[in-house]
Amino acid sequence: MAITIQQTEDLQAIHELDRACFPGDKPSLDDKKWPTHVWWTAEDDGVPVGYIGLNLHPEVASVTRVGVLASARRCGLQKRLIRTAQRYARRHAYNKLETYVLTENLASLRGFVSCGWKPLKLEIQGARQFLWLYSVLT
Ligand SMILES: CC(C)(COP(=O)(O)OP(=O)(O)OC[C@H]1O[C@@H](n2cnc3c(N)ncnc32)[C@H](O)[C@@H]1OP(=O)(O)O)[C@@H](O)C(=O)NCCC(=O)NCCS
Protein backbone atom coordinates (compact mmCIF):
# COMPACT_ATOMS: atom_id res chain seq x y z
CA MET A 1 0.00 0.00 0.00
CA ALA A 2 1.58 3.27 -1.13
CA ILE A 3 0.73 6.69 0.34
CA THR A 4 1.12 9.42 -2.26
CA ILE A 5 0.90 13.18 -1.94
CA GLN A 6 -1.59 14.74 -4.40
CA GLN A 7 -1.53 17.94 -6.40
CA THR A 8 -4.23 20.33 -5.18
CA GLU A 9 -5.09 21.19 -8.79
CA ASP A 10 -6.29 17.64 -9.41
CA LEU A 11 -8.38 16.33 -6.56
CA GLN A 12 -10.60 14.03 -8.60
CA ALA A 13 -9.47 10.90 -6.74
CA ILE A 14 -9.97 12.65 -3.40
CA HIS A 15 -13.49 13.76 -4.38
CA GLU A 16 -14.44 10.24 -5.39
CA LEU A 17 -13.04 8.73 -2.19
CA ASP A 18 -14.81 11.38 -0.13
CA ARG A 19 -18.17 10.60 -1.72
CA ALA A 20 -17.64 6.85 -1.16
CA CYS A 21 -16.53 7.25 2.48
CA PHE A 22 -19.31 9.69 3.42
CA PRO A 23 -22.19 8.36 1.29
CA GLY A 24 -24.99 10.08 3.21
CA ASP A 25 -23.32 13.48 3.29
CA LYS A 26 -23.76 16.34 0.91
CA PRO A 27 -20.40 16.44 -0.92
CA SER A 28 -18.43 18.97 1.07
CA LEU A 29 -15.21 18.90 -0.89
CA ASP A 30 -16.59 19.73 -4.31
CA ASP A 31 -16.47 23.29 -5.60
CA LYS A 32 -14.06 24.41 -2.93
CA LYS A 33 -10.57 25.62 -3.25
CA TRP A 34 -7.95 24.34 -0.86
CA PRO A 35 -5.03 26.74 -1.07
CA THR A 36 -3.44 25.76 2.24
CA HIS A 37 -4.23 22.04 2.02
CA VAL A 38 -2.05 19.03 1.39
CA TRP A 39 -3.76 15.78 0.38
CA TRP A 40 -2.58 12.19 0.28
CA THR A 41 -4.13 9.05 -1.13
CA ALA A 42 -3.39 5.50 -0.09
CA GLU A 43 -3.27 3.23 -3.13
CA ASP A 44 -3.58 -0.51 -3.37
CA ASP A 45 -1.96 -1.59 -6.65
CA GLY A 46 -2.52 1.92 -7.99
CA VAL A 47 -6.19 2.03 -6.93
CA PRO A 48 -7.01 4.80 -4.42
CA VAL A 49 -8.58 3.33 -1.27
CA GLY A 50 -7.98 6.02 1.35
CA TYR A 51 -7.20 9.70 1.73
CA ILE A 52 -6.39 12.41 4.23
CA GLY A 53 -6.38 16.20 4.08
CA LEU A 54 -4.08 18.41 6.13
CA ASN A 55 -4.72 22.14 6.36
CA LEU A 56 -1.46 24.01 6.92
CA HIS A 57 -3.09 27.26 7.88
CA PRO A 58 -0.47 29.80 9.00
CA GLU A 59 -1.84 29.86 12.55
CA VAL A 60 -3.07 26.31 13.10
CA ALA A 61 -2.61 23.04 11.25
CA SER A 62 -5.50 20.60 11.20
CA VAL A 63 -6.56 17.27 9.77
CA THR A 64 -9.77 18.17 7.97
CA ARG A 65 -10.83 14.91 6.37
CA VAL A 66 -9.83 11.26 6.45
CA GLY A 67 -11.49 8.21 4.97
CA VAL A 68 -10.83 4.65 3.93
CA LEU A 69 -13.02 2.63 1.55
CA ALA A 70 -15.04 -0.08 3.31
CA SER A 71 -13.08 -2.78 1.46
CA ALA A 72 -9.75 -1.57 2.95
CA ARG A 73 -10.81 -0.85 6.54
CA ARG A 74 -9.42 -2.32 9.75
CA CYS A 75 -5.94 -2.82 8.31
CA GLY A 76 -4.38 0.20 10.01
CA LEU A 77 -4.68 2.49 7.02
CA GLN A 78 -6.27 5.41 8.83
CA LYS A 79 -3.41 5.32 11.32
CA ARG A 80 -0.82 5.30 8.51
CA LEU A 81 -2.52 8.29 6.89
CA ILE A 82 -2.66 10.19 10.19
CA ARG A 83 1.03 9.50 10.85
CA THR A 84 1.90 10.68 7.34
CA ALA A 85 0.13 13.99 8.01
CA GLN A 86 1.81 14.30 11.43
CA ARG A 87 5.29 13.78 9.97
CA TYR A 88 4.66 16.29 7.20
CA ALA A 89 3.36 18.97 9.59
CA ARG A 90 6.34 18.42 11.90
CA ARG A 91 8.75 18.80 8.98
CA HIS A 92 7.01 22.05 8.11
CA ALA A 93 7.70 23.45 11.59
CA TYR A 94 4.27 22.98 13.15
CA ASN A 95 4.35 21.79 16.74
CA LYS A 96 0.65 20.95 17.08
CA LEU A 97 -2.23 19.55 15.03
CA GLU A 98 -5.97 19.70 15.62
CA THR A 99 -9.02 17.87 14.36
CA TYR A 100 -12.57 17.05 15.38
CA VAL A 101 -14.50 13.80 15.16
CA LEU A 102 -18.13 12.89 15.78
CA THR A 103 -18.17 11.31 19.23
CA GLU A 104 -20.06 8.29 17.88
CA ASN A 105 -17.31 7.59 15.33
CA LEU A 106 -15.36 5.11 17.44
CA ALA A 107 -13.22 3.84 14.56
CA SER A 108 -11.92 7.30 13.77
CA LEU A 109 -11.48 8.29 17.42
CA ARG A 110 -9.52 5.14 18.16
CA GLY A 111 -7.24 5.77 15.22
CA PHE A 112 -6.38 9.30 16.37
CA VAL A 113 -5.90 8.19 19.98
CA SER A 114 -3.60 5.37 18.85
CA CYS A 115 -1.51 7.98 17.05
CA GLY A 116 -1.08 9.91 20.30
CA TRP A 117 -3.88 12.47 19.95
CA LYS A 118 -5.51 13.79 23.12
CA PRO A 119 -9.03 15.14 23.75
CA LEU A 120 -9.30 18.93 23.79
CA LYS A 121 -12.99 19.88 24.10
CA LEU A 122 -16.52 18.82 23.23
CA GLU A 123 -18.59 20.82 20.76
CA ILE A 124 -22.33 20.38 20.35
CA GLN A 125 -23.94 21.30 17.03
CA GLY A 126 -27.68 20.63 17.25
CA ALA A 127 -28.11 16.89 17.73
CA ARG A 128 -24.46 16.19 16.89
CA GLN A 129 -21.57 16.11 19.31
CA PHE A 130 -17.96 16.48 18.22
CA LEU A 131 -14.78 15.82 20.12
CA TRP A 132 -11.89 18.12 19.31
CA LEU A 133 -8.48 16.45 19.60
CA TYR A 134 -4.93 17.69 19.39
CA SER A 135 -1.55 16.15 18.73
CA VAL A 136 1.70 17.60 20.00
CA LEU A 137 4.39 17.07 17.36
CA THR A 138 7.69 16.38 19.03
C1 LIG B 1 -12.86 5.87 10.34
C2 LIG B 1 -12.06 5.18 9.24
C3 LIG B 1 -11.23 6.21 8.49
C4 LIG B 1 -11.12 4.13 9.91
O5 LIG B 1 -10.25 3.62 8.92
P6 LIG B 1 -9.45 2.26 9.12
O7 LIG B 1 -8.36 2.23 8.11
O8 LIG B 1 -10.39 1.11 9.14
O9 LIG B 1 -8.85 2.45 10.58
P10 LIG B 1 -7.61 1.64 11.20
O11 LIG B 1 -7.58 0.25 10.61
O12 LIG B 1 -6.39 2.49 11.10
O13 LIG B 1 -8.06 1.49 12.71
C14 LIG B 1 -8.02 2.57 13.61
C15 LIG B 1 -8.52 2.11 14.97
O16 LIG B 1 -9.95 1.99 14.93
C17 LIG B 1 -10.35 0.67 15.24
N18 LIG B 1 -11.49 0.40 14.40
C19 LIG B 1 -11.52 0.34 13.06
N20 LIG B 1 -12.77 0.13 12.63
C21 LIG B 1 -13.53 0.04 13.75
C22 LIG B 1 -14.91 -0.17 13.97
N23 LIG B 1 -15.76 -0.35 12.95
N24 LIG B 1 -15.37 -0.17 15.25
C25 LIG B 1 -14.52 0.02 16.29
N26 LIG B 1 -13.20 0.23 16.14
C27 LIG B 1 -12.72 0.22 14.88
C28 LIG B 1 -9.15 -0.19 14.93
O29 LIG B 1 -9.18 -1.40 15.67
C30 LIG B 1 -8.03 0.72 15.38
O31 LIG B 1 -7.99 0.74 16.79
P32 LIG B 1 -6.60 0.52 17.59
O33 LIG B 1 -5.65 1.58 17.07
O34 LIG B 1 -6.98 0.75 19.02
O35 LIG B 1 -6.14 -0.84 17.25
C36 LIG B 1 -12.99 4.42 8.24
O37 LIG B 1 -13.83 3.56 8.98
C38 LIG B 1 -13.84 5.36 7.40
O39 LIG B 1 -13.39 5.86 6.37
N40 LIG B 1 -15.07 5.63 7.85
C41 LIG B 1 -15.98 6.53 7.10
C42 LIG B 1 -15.46 7.95 7.04
C43 LIG B 1 -15.11 8.49 8.42
O44 LIG B 1 -15.83 8.28 9.39
N45 LIG B 1 -14.00 9.25 8.47
C46 LIG B 1 -13.51 9.87 9.67
C47 LIG B 1 -14.23 11.14 9.94
S48 LIG B 1 -13.38 12.11 11.11
- Mean pLDDT (the chain) is 93
Please report, as a single letter, which amino acid is at residue 138.
T
The more confidently predicted of residues 58 and 67 is 67
Distance CA 129, CA 121 (A): 11
Ligand 1 centre and the CA of 67: distance in Å? 9
Distance CA 14, CA 77 (A): 15
Ligand 1 centre and the CA of 75: distance in Å? 9
Mean pLDDT to the nearest integer, 88-116: 97
Strand intervals (E) in the chain = 2-6, 37-44, 47-56, 61-68, 96-102, 118-125, 128-136
Q: Is 97 in the pocket of ligand 1 (CB under 6 A)?
A: no
- Domain 2-136 fold is Aminopeptidase (3.40.630)
pLDDT for residue 30: 63
Mean pLDDT to the nearest integer, 110-135: 97
